[in-house]
């Protein structure tokens, strides 16, 4: 624990780019905008599994990387899939 703190302090001094407030700024590209052939299908469980966690909850945008428009599509698709029992409402 103390080592970690020490390490962080050293990092700040040695590495000018290091700023804990802006760690790893990696712009995610929306998977659906990037791939024009990608068609979101609410009957395709394997596809939708990528957008839910192990509890069956829909992942947030920061995790899926989807843009607002496509995140909305994902949400709708997952909810439709749940309704027709392709996906679970909850697991465990
Ligand atoms: Zn998109």
Tokens (6 digits) for 52: 């839910």
Query: What CATH architecture applies to the domain 27-83?
Result: Irregular (4.10)
The whole-number pLDDT of residue 16 equals: 58
Centre of ligand 1 to C-alpha 34, Å, is: 7
pTM over 0.85: no
Centre of ligand 1 to C-alpha 51, Å, is: 14
In contact, 79 and 69? CB cutoff 8 Å? no
**Averaged pLDDT, groups of 10, the chain, 92 residues long:** 53 60 72 90 94 95 93 96 95 84
Annotated domain spans of the chain: 27-83
Centre of ligand 1 to C-alpha 14, Å, is: 39
Centre of ligand 1 to C-alpha 64, Å, is: 10
How does DSSP assign the chain, residue by residue? -HHHHHHHHHHHHH-TT--GGG----PPPPHHHH-TT----TT-HHHHHTTB-TTSPBPPHHHH---HHHHHHHHHHHHHHHHTTSS-S---
């Amino acid at each position: 624990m103390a080592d970690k703190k020490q390490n962080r302090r050293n990092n700040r001094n040695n590495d000018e780019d290091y700023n804990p407030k802006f760690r790893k700024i990696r712009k995610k590209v929306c998977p659906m905008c990037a791939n024009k052939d990608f068609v979101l299908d609410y009957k395709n469980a394997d596809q939708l599994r990528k957008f839910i966690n192990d509890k069956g909850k829909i992942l947030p945008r920061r995790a899926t990387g989807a843009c607002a428009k496509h995140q909305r599509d994902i949400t709708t698709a997952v909810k439709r899939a749940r309704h027709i029992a392709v996906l679970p409402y909850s697991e465990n």
